[in-house]
């Protein structure tokens, strides 16, 4: 009886507590219950103790009624609850860039006053409910980068106040609803790219007289003729029709006039200006072959920027001066190395005797010059700092180990170090300057040391002194991806990677980048992703390396950024005036400016973004697909790999001429290769806003084989 009374008391109290909530708070708590994970605690103050939700995170009220729910980029996972539709005064719902999945519930559209609905960057699937047509006040509708499918509901054209509509990077299919352009004449922005829309392009799209920027219909399967009415669009609007199945002559009127060929790439049936394909009397392209070969004289005469060429004599002079310079630097380095570094002076051909016979901890600056007098003032800094409890070696053991030089760059030398117990490590030696930034170095390196992921190289320990800074990593045994793709001079044998291994490396690298972008403590940007920075483990599993290295080197005093900038400046001076954008227009922390893996926007003064990494990853995918270097040689000219792919598409080269010849044995996987090519092309989009996130790239790769990965 006592237990029963206690139960009744608790039940009554909980009922009273719930009843104290207004209906809107109950609806929001229902949404909270549908959220399975809230890693950042965004909904922690959503509780039953408040009568109204107006003080809750992400909630905005007017006259004590909820008018806005805004919780973007908080890694919320779960489903989208229909209870939000009961918020009768809701005007703005923004849940972009979370991890919500499942379908969009029809009940969500009961909030008839919605003016903006922003759900892009989730994992929503299924069709778009027809109830969307009831949102008569809707002006902004963003649902890009999800997995929504099926045809667009015909009711969508009832949202006549729509100004911004972004449906890109989904799996929508079928024709656009009848009256799409005529009914949605208020549209200012329209993006339908990266779907499977088919049928003809509606002629009434020419009614969208308020459009600005780009109308993006690319990467679909629209077919038939380009309607001349598109020429009625504002002349400043860029019309992107790339990668569809359009055919016939390109209309030459209004906004369609004076467009370059890039707006029409990937449509093998199109003909007429500005393309090279002449139209036959029937209006189709006159070439019977869909993929004519690449002309030997590319670039065509008159299109090459002759200011970029150097004469043979100038090229020879540059090569000779480079060789002399390298020799002088090599001699200087050898002299200094023999005079300064006990590691270097104690090597035999096998690498044994590393540090033996030395003074142990008193020679803790074994990489640099003898500054024992300075050490007496900085004893607390002259020691190895472990970053986890798996570090079972100390500085003395490190000094006694055998060491081999793995490589050299503008950011120091990398050694393979073999301890006496057989443990292999990779030790990177940073610059020799900088004695006032220890705290900054510690903060940065310890943050990096906390990163733990199977596809990211682990930083185990570090060492700092006035004249020496070392980073100690796990050793990764199978070299880097660049060597695995292309081999290297002097290799006795070269075993090309199979498609299955390449695809596994692609997925593993994407997983590592998703971890850095979304799950690392600071949601980092790598900034210098390239095949030489992707190491391969025992089972060829990829491990991303050199993360955060540029900033650490700057702090340590190695000044890789200044060095790379000076080299770029010298290289720029060898060019003729007017040869293009300066490679020194900005300084980035990685020293990678001018790299073919660098996103186009990196040439502007702007903060690095994760979309830079997406572009670099896309170039890596292209390199793995084609087997070509990131800079392709075409006779006496050269172009980067991305432009070469665009050229192949424009010139309609067969797929066999684009793919790595070593992949011929995997011809049965051609569908997967095409899907990866689509993903890569999305990653290297010139507009960073159009590039997918690394999470969406990974999800697309995980869904292979699929004809519409992105």
Mean pLDDT of the residues in the chain:
77
In a domain, 482, yes or no: no
66 and 125 share one domain = yes
Query: Could you give the C-alpha distances from 19 to 49, 64, 402, in angstroms and in order?
Result: 11, 17, 73
CATH code: domain of residue 665: 1.10.510.10
| Domain boundary, last residue among 475, 503, 520 | 475
| Domain boundary, last residue among 475, 503, 536 | 475
Inter-residue contact 629 to 639 (CB < 8 Å)? no
In a domain, 327, yes or no: yes
In a domain, 582, yes or no: no
- The pLDDT of residue 605 is 54
- The pLDDT of residue 20 is 55
242 and 391 share one domain = no
In a domain, 630, yes or no: yes
In a domain, 578, yes or no: no
When pLDDT is averaged across residues 552-565 and rounded to a whole number, the result is 51
**141-162: per-residue pLDDT in tens?**
999 999 999 999 999 999 999 9
CATH code: domain of residue 447: 3.30.200.20
341 and 231 share one domain = no
Domain count of the chain? 3
In a domain, 710, yes or no: yes
In a domain, 178, yes or no: yes
132 and 267 share one domain = yes
**369-395: per-residue pLDDT in tens?**
333 333 333 334 557 788 877 777 777
121 and 242 share one domain = yes
Q: Which of 12-21, 235-244, 294-303, 330-339 has the lowest mean pLDDT?
A: 294-303
178 and 135 share one domain = yes
466 and 507 share one domain = no
Beta carbons within 8 Å of 487's beta carbon, 6+ residues apart: 494
In a domain, 298, yes or no: no
CATH code: domain of residue 148: 3.80.10.10
- The pLDDT of residue 330 is 54
Separation of alpha carbons 556 and 432, rounded Å: 7
Separation of alpha carbons 435 and 79, rounded Å: 52
427 and 520 share one domain = no
Q: Which of 166, 191, 528, 660 is catalytic?
A: 528
518 and 470 share one domain = no
331 and 411 share one domain = yes
449 and 499 share one domain = no
**566-594: per-residue pLDDT in tens?**
333 333 333 333 333 332 222 233 334 45
CA quadruple 408, 409, 410, 416: dihedral positive or negative? Answer: negative
| Domain boundary, last residue among 423, 442, 475 | 475
CA quadruple 204, 206, 211, 217: dihedral positive or negative? Answer: positive
Distance of CA 497 to the CA centre of its chain: 23
Model-level pTM?
Answer: 0.52
Residue 216: active-site member: no
Range of the domain at 223: 2-271
392 and 464 share one domain = yes
């Amino acid at each position: 009886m006592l237990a029963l009374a206690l139960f009744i008391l608790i039940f009554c109290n909980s009922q009273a507590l719930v009843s104290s909530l207004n209906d809107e708070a109950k609806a929001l708590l229902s949404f909270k219950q549908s959220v399975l994970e809230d890693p950042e605690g965004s909904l922690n103050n959503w509780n039953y103790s408040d009568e109204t939700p107006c003080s809750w995170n992400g909630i905005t009220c007017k006259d004590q009624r909820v008018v806005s729910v805004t919780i973007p980029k908080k890694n919320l996972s779960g489903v989208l609850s229909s209870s939000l539709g009961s918020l009768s005064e809701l005007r703005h719902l923004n849940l972009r860039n979370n991890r919500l999945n499942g379908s969009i519930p029809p009940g969500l559209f009961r909030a008839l006053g919605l003016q903006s609905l922003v759900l892009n960057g989730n994992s929503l699937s299924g069709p778009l409910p027809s109830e969307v047509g009831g949102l008569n006040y809707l002006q902004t509708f963003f649902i890009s980068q999800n997995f929504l499918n099926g045809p667009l509901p015909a009711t969508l054209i009832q949202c006549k106040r729509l100004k911004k509509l972004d449906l890109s990077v989904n799996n929508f299919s079928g024709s656009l609803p009848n009256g799409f352009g005529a009914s949605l004449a208020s549209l200012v922005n329209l993006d339908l790219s990266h779907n499977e829309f088919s049928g003809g392009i509606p002629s009434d799209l020419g009614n969208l007289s308020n459009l600005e920027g780009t109308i993006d219909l690319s990467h679909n399967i629209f077919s038939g003729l380009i309607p001349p009415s598109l020429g009625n669009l504002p002349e400043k609007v860029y019309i992107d029709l790339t990668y569809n199945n359009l055919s016939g002559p390109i209309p030459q009127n209004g906004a369609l006039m004076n467009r370059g060929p890039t707006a029409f790439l990937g449509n093998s049936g199109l003909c007429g200006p500005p393309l090279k394909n002449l139209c036959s009397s029937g209006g189709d392209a006159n070439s019977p072959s869909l993929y004519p070969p690449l002309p030997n004289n590319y670039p065509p005469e008159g299109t090459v920027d002759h200011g970029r060429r150097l004469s043979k004599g100038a090229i020879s002079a540059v090569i000779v001066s480079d060789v002399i310079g390298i020799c002088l630097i090599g001699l200087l380095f050898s002299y200094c190395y023999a005079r300064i570094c006990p590691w270097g002076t104690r090597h035999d051909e096998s690498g044994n005797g590393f540090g033996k016979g030395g003074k142990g901890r008193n020679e803790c600056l074994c990489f640099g010059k003898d500054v024992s007098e300075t050490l007496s003032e900085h004893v607390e800094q002259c020691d190895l700092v472990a970053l986890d409890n798996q570090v079972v070696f100390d500085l003395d053991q490190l000094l006694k180990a055998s060491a081999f030089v793995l490589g050299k760059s503008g950011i120091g030398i990398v050694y393979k170090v073999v301890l006496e117990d057989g443990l292999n490590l990779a030790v990177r030696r940073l610059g020799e300057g900088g004695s006032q930034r220890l705290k900054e170095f510690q903060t940065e390196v310890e943050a990096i040391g906390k990163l733990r992921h199977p596809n990211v190289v682990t930083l185990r320990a570090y060492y700092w002194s006035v004249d020496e800074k070392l980073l100690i990593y796990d050793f990764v045994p199978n070299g880097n991806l660049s060597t695995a793709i292309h081999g290297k001079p002097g290799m006795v044998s070269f075993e090309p990677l199979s498609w299955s291994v390449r695809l596994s490396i692609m997925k593993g690298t994407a997983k590592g980048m998703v971890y850095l972008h979304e799950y690392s403590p600071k949601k980092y940007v790598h900034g210098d992703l390239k095949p030489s920075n992707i190491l391969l483990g025992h089972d060829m599993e990829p491990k991303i390396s050199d993360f955060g290295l540029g900033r650490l080197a700057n702090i340590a005093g190695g000044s890789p950024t200044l060095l790379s900038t000076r080299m770029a400046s010298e290289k720029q001076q060898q060019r003729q005036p007017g040869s293009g954008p300066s490679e020194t227009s900005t300084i980035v922390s990685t020293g990678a400016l001018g790299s073919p893996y660098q996103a186009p926007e990196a040439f502007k003064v702007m903060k690095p973004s994760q979309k830079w990494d997406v572009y670099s990853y896309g170039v890596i995918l292209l390199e793995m697909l084609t087997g070509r270097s990131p800079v392709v040689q075409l006779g006496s000219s050269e172009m980067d790999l991305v432009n070469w792919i665009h050229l192949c598409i424009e010139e309609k080269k067969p797929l066999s001429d684009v793919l790595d010849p070593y992949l011929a044995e995997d011809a049965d996987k051609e569908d997967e290769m095409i899907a990866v090519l689509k993903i890569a092309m999305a990653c290297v989009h010139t507009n960073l806003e159009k590039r997918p996130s690394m999470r969406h790239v990974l999800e697309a790769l995980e869904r292979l084989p699929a004809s519409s990965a992105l």
